Amino acid sequence: MYVTGHTRRQPSIRDVASAAGVSYQTVSRVINDHPSVKPATRERVNRVIEELGFRRSATALALASGRSRNVTVLTANTTHYGHASVLRGVEEAARKAAYAVGVGVLEADDEQAVAAALQRAGDSAGGLIVIAYDPVGVAALAAVDSEIPVVGVVETPDHEPPPDRPWVWTDDHQAAYDATAHLLALGHRTVHYVAIPSSTCRLSARTNGWRRALEDAGAPVPEALQGAWGPGSGHEAGLLLAGDAEVTAVLCGNDDLALGVMRALYQAGRSVPGEVSVVGFDDAPYSAYLTPSLTTVRLDFTGLGRAAFDLLHGVLTEATPVAPHSAAVPELVIRESTARPA
Amino acid sequence: MYVTGHTRRQPSIRDVASAAGVSYQTVSRVINDHPSVKPATRERVNRVIEELGFRRSATALALASGRSRNVTVLTANTTHYGHASVLRGVEEAARKAAYAVGVGVLEADDEQAVAAALQRAGDSAGGLIVIAYDPVGVAALAAVDSEIPVVGVVETPDHEPPPDRPWVWTDDHQAAYDATAHLLALGHRTVHYVAIPSSTCRLSARTNGWRRALEDAGAPVPEALQGAWGPGSGHEAGLLLAGDAEVTAVLCGNDDLALGVMRALYQAGRSVPGEVSVVGFDDAPYSAYLTPSLTTVRLDFTGLGRAAFDLLHGVLTEATPVAPHSAAVPELVIRESTARPA
DNA sequence: CTGAAAGCGCTTACAG
DNA sequence: CTGAAAGCGCTTACAG
């Protein structure tokens, strides 16, 4: 069989219209499920659509209608488990709603780079979801033009989001409180804390939850250590902590940090959980298989992503009232890395 | 300050044109860097563009020109380190070229689902990048309409890709060979293997590299165990392996599998690397911080993603000749999980 | 219930 | 070097 190099053009609504013996306007009504089309006509048009393999052009639709069935998620990171899972949740919900999803990564947090990322995203997207777990994300969320629909995936906020700009989060504060309380209940005198980068200048909800639990129990409140996102910075913090004989329990802002801390403790000859208990945040896929397996707070990132999309979809279509909401309840998963103090 | 609720429409090239006192056609020439525009005119237009904050509409551009400055990557998984890193690499290169990137996840591998994913992706993208590390991805790559530009991110192939459909890969075969040879050189009689899901019916390049190294050394070739992607399946395989006293060295298709195997070995009371050596593939961020830290093959997934985009960009613009190519050389990273047999 | 017109914001020939 | 026309594939009023 010989095929010419010529690409057969995709059929347009006009092609469908002439093949079905109607005006292209009627075809438009059919593909938009407009009520006022005679059933027989509708059926005939649908048959032709099927035969010709017609697919409505998303770009023409976007240009003509001004709406774009595309959302893009802006994030500072795509490989970290939490961020990647949020993206996955967004994609899942978007797929169900027949939306396309784009990704933009926020490389640097200078104003220019953020502005550029925002513009690129705004060019193609009808709406934005920005993951604001870190300073770059927060800056981006704040810099979004007021005309473009956006929802933020944020840390537990301490104030209401602006009405036109919903947020989505899981209750970090309570989760950190619970994890700290668990350690205290085991008999530890206090709990040290290695923080992930705070998204804002003020203290994060996790930090506050940890501190509150300590205060409520009348335990001393040690100074929190500031970590980054990866295990390397957990390792550095762990080295510091390992040198302090007072340290018997460490709460970490995420599992990567906890992993680094455990490694440092091991290198310093302090056993986990024999001498020191360690708790993480996230429940990354690897955490259950570490030795000792990691006690951690399971966060439903995927559910968060789905919620973010649903919210955005709501503001995009104006069908649903938009309300800020906290999705999914975190759950403390107790494994081998926590025990009573020696 | 009072602001009306009315959205000020984005300026179009006509707005720019009238403000600059030229025709909109001239504006089009300026934004497209067309050579034949008098420098003075160009400068004036550019000034107006600046003043008005004009941004060319990506969707109008796509509709009018037929080209879409958007690529979408199709993948069965977004959270696994390798897949996420490829995506990250694509985004990085796309950003440099001012392209937008979309993601589509391949949920199920039945024909319908793949076809649906393909259609959705094709609707918005000018080109596709499909990650074909697993059966779903392979099916998707094969099902892409011949008219749409696509590049596959694949396992080391055993034949040339079709000329119009470039692939990108890293040399798995050599990497598996090296890792196996390392274990053999340490004095192990043979090396067992836990495989990731093969993308095809035939054996994967990793499996072949492992087998070849064994054969070249005259070592017995045990049957490979079939794993999935996550640590859970590595754990299952590890339980099997742990029961066999002959097993002293295990090569795993990825780090997650290796983690699961190490956990199983630990539970069975067999020490790593004292009694059994374990090697992974990927060099995930956590691998260096495990105890024992994991010997593994570092793969440049991000570079692979960048290469995939560059290739696609080449076929999209027809500026660069497209050639299949192997990006980045894998590197064996020797850490604590491997040692001489007891 | 159905059709003819105008327009979304650009680009691609075609003129001058 | 610059401008007026037609068209990309749809939708949104406006007629009938």
* In a shared domain, residues B293 and B311: no
SS3 (DSSP) at A13: helix
* Residue whose Cα is closest to the C1' of C2: A26
Residue B6 has what pLDDT?
A: 39
Beta-carbon contacts of residue A254 (< 8 Å; ≥ 6 apart) = A82, A196, A229, A280, A281, A282, A284
* In a shared domain, residues A138 and A155: yes
Q: Which one has a higher pLDDT value, B172 or A272? A: A272
Give the distance, in angstroms, between residue A26 CA and nucleotide D16 C1'.
Answer: 15
Whose structure tokens read 């784009």? A102
Q: How far apart are CA B295 and CA B200, in angstroms?
A: 27
Which of B60, B62, B235 faces A289 most closely, judged by CB atoms? B235
Is residue B336, in this structure, part of any structural domain at all? no
Is residue A207, in this structure, part of any structural domain at all? yes
| φ, ψ dihedrals at B104, nearest 5° | -130, 130
Which of B60, B79, B256 faces A88 most closely, judged by CB atoms? B79
* In a shared domain, residues B176 and B275: yes
Instruction: Show the domain range for B179.
Output: 172-299
Residue B183 has what pLDDT?
A: 98
Which of A8, A58, A291 faces B124 most closely, judged by CB atoms? A58
Which residues of B are less than 8 Å from A258 in CB distance? none
Is residue A62, in this structure, part of any structural domain at all? no
Strand partners, B72: B102, B128
Tokens of B130: 């499909």
Residue A162 has what pLDDT?
A: 75
Residues in chain A with pLDDT < 50? 1-7
Interface test with A, best of B10, B78, B92, B145 (most A CBs within 10 A): B78
Q: How far apart are CA B77 and CA B70, in angstroms?
A: 20
Cross-chain Cβ contact A63/B63 below 8 Å: yes
Beta-carbon contacts of residue A86 (< 8 Å; ≥ 6 apart) = A73, A75, A131, A153, A301, A302, A304, A305, A308
Residue B25 has what pLDDT?
A: 86
Side-chain half-sphere of A288: how many Cα atoms within 13 Å? 13
Is residue A65, in this structure, part of any structural domain at all? no
Residue of B nearest to A302 (CA): B79
- Indicate the pTM of the whole model: 0.92
* Residue whose Cα is closest to the C1' of C3: A23
DSSP A287: G
Mean pLDDT taken over chain B: 89
Handedness of CA A252, A253, A254, A256 (dihedral sign): negative
Q: What is the pLDDT of residues B63-101, one digit of tens each?
A: 888 888 899 999 999 999 999 999 999 999 999 998 999
* In a shared domain, residues A238 and A99: no
* Residue whose Cα is closest to the C1' of D7: B64
Q: What is the CATH number of the domain that holds B12?
A: 1.10.260.40
Cross-chain Cβ contact B91/A101 below 8 Å: no
Tokens of A219: 């335990």
What is the C-alpha radius of gyration for chain A, rounded to an integer number of angstroms? 26
Residue of B nearest to A293 (CA): B263
* In a shared domain, residues B294 and B178: yes
Confidence of residue B239 (pLDDT cuts 50, 70, 90): very high
Q: Which nucleotide is nearest to B23 (CA to C1')?
A: D3
Residue of A nearest to B81 (CA): A79
Is residue A214, in this structure, part of any structural domain at all? yes
Give the distance, in angstroms, between residue B99 CA and nucleotide C15 C1'.
Answer: 34
Residue of A nearest to B148 (CA): A7
Which of B59, B124, B260 faces A289 most closely, judged by CB atoms? B260
Q: Which of B4-18, B57-71, B298-312 has the highest mean pLDDT?
A: B298-312
For residues B90 and B152, the answer to whether their CB atoms sit within 8 Å is: no
Cross-chain Cβ contact A78/B60 below 8 Å: no
Give the distance, in angstroms, between residue B124 CA and nucleotide D11 C1'.
Answer: 18
Instruction: Examine the pLDDT at B318 and tell me if it is beyond 80.
Output: no
Question: Domain count of chain A?
Answer: 3
Is residue B337, in this structure, part of any structural domain at all? no
Give the distance, in angstroms, between residue A320 CA and nucleotide D6 C1'.
Answer: 42
Instruction: Examine the pLDDT at B2 and tell me if it is beyond 80.
Output: no
Is residue B94, in this structure, part of any structural domain at all? yes
Shortest alpha-carbon distance between residue A312 and chain B (Å):
17
Sequence-ordered alpha helix ranges (H) in chain B = 13-20, 24-31, 39-52, 58-65, 81-96, 111-124, 135-143, 172-185, 205-216, 231-242, 255-267, 301-317
Proximity of residue A18 CB to strand D below 7 A: no
Q: How far apart are CA B296 and CA B259, in angstroms?
A: 11
Q: Which of A32, A55, A78 is the last residue of a domain?
A: A55
* In a shared domain, residues A287 and A143: no
DSSP A108: -
Is residue A339, in this structure, part of any structural domain at all? no
* In a shared domain, residues B191 and B286: yes
Q: What is the CATH number of the domain that holds A205?
A: 3.40.50.2300
* In a shared domain, residues A118 and A260: no
Strand partners, A114: none
The number of angstroms, rounded, from the C-alpha of B296 to the middle of its chain's C-alpha atoms is: 18
Q: Averaged over B116-133, what is the pLDDT?
A: 86
Q: What is the DSSP secondary-structure string of A127-152? A: EEEEEESSHHHHHHHHHS-TTS-EEE
Which residues of A are less than 8 Å from B88 in CB distance? 78-79, 105
Q: Which residues are in reach of strand C, CB within 7 A?
A: A 22-23, 25-26, 29, 35-38, 40-42, 60, 63-64; B 9-10, 12-14, 24-25, 28, 31-32, 54-57, 60-61, 63-65
Residue B325 has what pLDDT?
A: 56
Q: What is the DSSP secondary-structure string of B252-321? A: ESSHHHHHHHHHHHHHTT--TTTT-EEEEEE--TTGGGSSSPPEEEE--HHHHHHHHHHHHHHHHHT-SP
* In a shared domain, residues B322 and B241: no
Q: Which one has a higher pLDDT value, B186 or A327? A: B186
Q: How far apart are CA B176 and CA A307, in angstroms?
A: 42
* In a shared domain, residues A136 and A236: no
Residue A3 has what pLDDT?
A: 32
* In a shared domain, residues B180 and B213: yes
Proximity of residue A55 CB to strand D below 7 A: yes
Report the range of poorest mean pLDDT among A313-322, B37-46, B128-137.
A313-322
Q: Which nucleotide is nearest to A36 (CA to C1')?
A: C1
* Residue whose Cα is closest to the C1' of D3: B23
* In a shared domain, residues B292 and B307: no
Tokens of B47: 């000034």
Cross-chain Cβ contact B63/A72 below 8 Å: no
Whose structure tokens read 């995936």? A153
